[in-house]
Amino acid sequence: MRSDGILGVGRGGGSDQNRATASAVVESRRRWLKRRETWLVLLGVALHAVYMLSIFDIYFKTPIVHGMDPVPPRFSHPPAKRLILLISDGLRADKFYEPDADGNYRAPFLRNVINNQGRWGVSHARPPTESRPGHVAIIAGFYEDPSAVTKGWKANPVEFDSVFNQGRHTFAYGSPDIIPIFCSALPHSTWNSYPQDFATDASFLDEWSFDQFESLLNRSHHDPKLKELLHQDKLVFFLHLLGCDSNGHAHRPFSSIYLNNVKVVDKIAERVYHLLEDYYRDNRTSYIFTADHGMSDKGSHGDGHPTNTDTPLVAWGAGIKYPRPATGHSHSDSVASFVDKHAHDMPTPYDWGLNRVERVDVNQADIAPLMTSGDSGANVKRLEQETDAKIEQLKKEASRISNDVVAMLLKHVTTVKN
């Protein structure tokens, strides 16, 4: 006897016919149970799938609000005609500012700038501290939306505006993972990137970007059209320097190769500066040097540890203030521009030797309005507008949802009643 025991039949005697009917009933009952089980399992799987998808639907939404009015620039006569953006991928703040074992600083040129010519600080990145979200924060002024993870942080799930888009022309050289994000769909851009796995020593990648830039200026001596373009205003030159990132992954940030790459990057900043000052001789170039994210001691990045989020920022050139002596105990910290919860008041380590120069920290996404309007407060203004737009959108959605919910509940209630 098998499972017919539940029904309590087939135990004691009875006629053959009775037994046959009983076992037929049992058989059909068993089949019915089995079907029900299958349905139950399928229902369970379907429900779990719906729950899991709902997480994506609810949280993985783009934060970009479309149709905003551009914030007008603060100056009618901007002090700069062109902007140089140097991003050293994976360069963490402490390795950049601190001296080496012999007491020599690794970035002598940029230190000289900090002490005599421009402003410095720590730019606070936000996790995920990956290259793409970092560059999007610097160049487009918002923190990458989580929906980009569905494209592997490669393509743009939603089109967005950027500093490059608002300029007259952008020249960009660097990694094939970064440059095309901003430039491939931009008609007013000239860009180039090296093939993947291009060099064995990664600092060579930095040299490549510089050579491209130098040969652009060289070409302009024989190309009147290019020369004319280079003398227009609203130009952006972007050099993406991947060396520190690759060397940090391969050899960790304590290795001599990584530390040497910091020197290479400083040298490139110096060469770019002298090249441009020689080329234009008009004092109307602004320079921004920063990094997209840091590098943890293990040679990785992505999380919110200070080694990953603290990156250097050095700004100098047209329109940028000269250094000021530090006042009081700490660097200036303008409360309005820090809307997230970073520990901005990390004191300047003594061995950086910069305690006497005023330090200006920024959130990474504030670099974009700094580049466009010279005012990192503009981001606060934009955020206010965006928040208004978002609240309006939420209100609209809420009213739509509640109608749907009410309709569904009503329908349910009526079916139960019938």
Q: Which positions touch ligand NAG (CB under 6 A)?
A: 211, 214-215, 218, 281-283
Closest approach of Cβ 345 to ligand NAG, in Å? Answer: 34
Alpha helices in 98-202 (DSSP H): 108-116, 131-140, 163-166, 179-183
Q: Which is nearer to ligand NAG, 219 or 412 (CB)?
A: 219
CB 260 within 8 A of CB 268: no
219 is written with which tokens? Answer: 């070409």
Closest approach of Cβ 214 to ligand NAG, in Å? Answer: 4
Closest approach of Cβ 283 to ligand NAG, in Å? Answer: 4
Q: Which is nearer to ligand NAG, 218 or 402 (CB)?
A: 218
Q: Which is nearer to ligand NAG, 3 or 218 (CB)?
A: 218
- Residue 204's identity, in one-letter code, is F
Q: Which is nearer to ligand NAG, 194 or 352 (CB)?
A: 194
SS3 207: helix
Q: Which is nearer to ligand NAG, 118 or 294 (CB)?
A: 118
Q: Which residues of 279-297 are buried (b: 16+ CB within 10 A; e: fewer)?
A: eeeeeebbbbbbbbbbbbe
Closest CA to 57 of 146, 142, 144: 146
CB 60 within 8 A of CB 147: yes
CB 91 within 8 A of CB 269: no
Closest approach of Cβ 364 to ligand NAG, in Å? Answer: 30
Closest approach of Cβ 213 to ligand NAG, in Å? Answer: 8
Q: Which is nearer to ligand NAG, 259 or 275 (CB)?
A: 275
Closest approach of Cβ 218 to ligand NAG, in Å? Answer: 4
Question: What is the distance between the alpha carbons of residues 333 and 308, in angstroms, rounded to a whole number?
Answer: 21
Dihedral, 175, 178, 180, 186 alpha carbons, nearest 10: -120
